[in-house]
Structure 1
Amino acid sequence: MNQIFNIIAPILILIGLGFVCVRYEWLKREHIQGMGVFVLKVALPLLIVNALMQKDFAEIWQTQYLIAYGIGSLVAAFTALWLYHIRLQEALPQAAIMAMGASMSNTGFIGYGVLSMLIGPQAAVYFSMNLLIENLLIIPLVLTLAEWGKQQNSTASMSKIALQTFKSVIKNPLVIGLVIGLLLSGFKISVGAPIERVLNLISMCASPIALLVIGGSLAGTSIQAAGKHALFISAIKLVLMPATVWLVFQFLPNVSAEMEMAGVLLASISMATVFSLFGQQYGIGPRSAAVLLLTTLMMFVSLSVVLILYPS
């Protein structure tokens, strides 16, 4: 339990630092927004490239894991989408971002740290597969829905809306980073030591800056900004998603104990920091940041349950 706290504590400290910086006007909100743009369009895409190019393509493609974690992610995403868009009548762009929060784990900053304590370097393999699922499936899906929702009130034809949505998705730096990373991995292309060093340096700053942005966007708000339905999305992320991943594993052949544990553990992590950054982009910044903070605090419980069920 102390090890888990030692990993989560820096996250809460960085969020708190971002909050203090804006609260006492050491940084202005415009600065925080600029930092968020840097993370979304530069740091995170290069982190994806850096993670994928260092692995053999065959190593990051384990079918059973991709099926189980992919289905778990989709079930969580569509459950949240149904809840917020159909039941609660929220606009499609905002509901799509909430679906992202319900289906994407903070694998890079929290999940990888916890998993590497349990299985060592092998954690990088599951991290890479999560990147594939999140960036090849979940992010394109929710961004397509969000962009589609933004275009619905226009006078453009259905085909034009679809084309605009597709163009917006394929131009997203995160998707571009995924494609480049897969190409470098698949064709075993070396980018050279200087570029590798640059990628490593930028990758290291992605998560800390993202957490500062989240904290800064919380300044002037309270946990109540998460909304009265915040516990629903926390439950979808921390309970429904890992339970679904576990259930799917039971129907798949040749699933190792390590693979099952890795999938369930990573699914029980709070949502990725990119959720709050996209929330800022689609007009729900304070709310998404508050939901992220609430779910991160509740994650202590879900992680504890998983570690009890899968003792190392």
Structure 2
Amino acid sequence: MALNNIVTAIVPIFLVVGVGYGFVRFGPFSRDDMPVLSRFVVKVALPLLIFLNIYGKPASDIFQITYLLTYAGAVLIMFGIAFGYSAAKKRTPARRAFLGMGMSSTNNGFIGLPIFLILLPEWAGAAVGMDMLVDNTLTIPLTLFLAEQAIGTGTIRERVITTIRGVLLHPLVIAIIAALVLNAVGLVLPEFLHRSVDLIAGTSTGVALFTVGGMLVGLQIKGALADIFMIVGSKLLIMPTVAFGLLMSFIAIGLPDLPNELRAAAIITCALPPFSIMPSIAEPYGEADVTTAAMMLSTLLSFFTLAGWTAVLGAIGWI
């Protein structure tokens, strides 16, 4: 059953990526069109998808402290591993930043949500909302700060201020804040507006995956195989193991326990492949090819590793 669930969630993803590749390789689009589509996803469609996943949810569902600390702690540990690897291999600061993102980010919007809706339907929205909260207040800002350090000018203080300003004004963060404010004041969106938001949000998955397929055309990964394999192995195997250890440690020291479904969601989240928007974020820093290859290979192999993690979680009674 677990394998069938993973097939149902992941196979359509590869079909859409294949369509994107075909339309760029043989059809009416060029690879130069892909950054435009990426900006649409990052700045418009995905923020609205995040908004809908948080809007209307009780605060107690969105702020499960043990879940948030488990995911955030795993992110920081994976960045630490990326730093150690980069230092040993003498990688550039920009490559170091995106090694960290590749080893710690999770594709909870485009892969995690479909899997959660199948395996953990009652908790899917809450889990993805908490995941995206960590993504947009920790993982993405930390990556951008490190990447800007690699190419930016000015003092560290100026870069910190610039990063904080960029985070607060980022559409993804604005979407989270807007949803939380509306929840707090109890304001209900008119039906026509909710439907309009839903129409745009619904394009995010397809356009993002189509864009990833287009970016595969002309992909150059010569000399980067070690980095790609490091990202893939760390993301699919090490991060969920770290998350399991953190979760059980937090519970052991007295932090609030989680329902079994949320325990499972925390581990599955950390076992997901990296952001599908990672190449879009990395492209201005010259790291699009490596991140695209790592993201695609991780997504392909996650078919098997997610099935394995799901089987383990089922065996211990969490799903």
TM-score in same-fold range (> 0.5):
yes
Alignment correspondent of 2:283: 280
Contact (CA 8 Å) 2:106, 2:275: kept in 1 or not?
A: yes
Q: 1:158 to 1:62 in 2, by over 3 A?
A: closer
CA deviations 1:97-141 (Å, max 9, x no partner) are 221221121112211222222222322111111111111221122
Q: Is there any run of 5+ residues in structure 1 with no aligned partner, and where?
A: none
Alignment correspondent of 2:235: 237
Identity of aligned residues (%): 27
Of 220-229 and 163-172, deviating more is 220-229
Contact (CA 8 Å) 2:68, 2:134: kept in 1 or not?
A: yes
Alignment correspondent of 1:61: 63
Alignment correspondent of 1:19: 21
Counterpart among 43, 60, 67 of residue 45 in structure 2:
43
Q: 1:308 to 1:95 in 2, by over 3 A?
A: same
Q: 1:224 to 1:54 in 2, by over 3 A?
A: farther
Q: 1:220 to 1:129 in 2, by over 3 A?
A: same
Counterpart AA for 1:103: S
Alignment correspondent of 1:30: 32
Tell me by how many angstroms 1:303 deviates: 1.0
- CA distance, structure 2, for counterparts of residue 148 and residue 190 of structure 1: 42
| Partner SS, residue 106 of structure 2 | coil
* 1:118 is aligned to 2:116: no
CA deviations 1:140-182 (Å, max 9, x no partner) are 221122223221xx3x344333333333333322222222222
Counterpart AA for 1:293: M
Counterpart among 226, 235, 249 of residue 247 in structure 2:
249
Count of paired positions: 308
Alignment correspondent of 2:254: none
Q: 1:235 to 1:141 in 2, by over 3 A?
A: same
Counterpart among 252, 269, 273 of residue 272 in structure 2:
269
- CA distance, structure 1, for counterparts of residue 62 and residue 158 of structure 2: 36
CA deviations 1:258-293 (Å, max 9, x no partner) are 222121112111112121211223222222111111
| Partner SS, residue 252 of structure 1 | helix
CA deviations 1:23-80 (Å, max 9, x no partner) are 1142022321211111111111221222111312222111111111221122122322
Tell me by how many angstroms 1:204 deviates: 0.9
CA deviations 1:184-217 (Å, max 9, x no partner) are 2333322322221121111111111111111101
Aligned counterparts, 1:1-312, within 5 A: 1-84=3-86, 86-151=87-152, 154=153, 156-221=154-219, 227-253=225-251, 254-311=257-314, 312=319
| Partner SS, residue 113 of structure 1 | helix
Q: Is there any run of 5+ residues in structure 2 with no aligned partner, and where?
A: 252-256
Q: 1:178 to 1:81 in 2, by over 3 A?
A: farther
Give TM-score scaled by structure 1 length: 0.91
Contact (CA 8 Å) 2:5, 2:119: kept in 1 or not?
A: no
- CA distance, structure 2, for counterparts of residue 187 and residue 89 of structure 1: 51
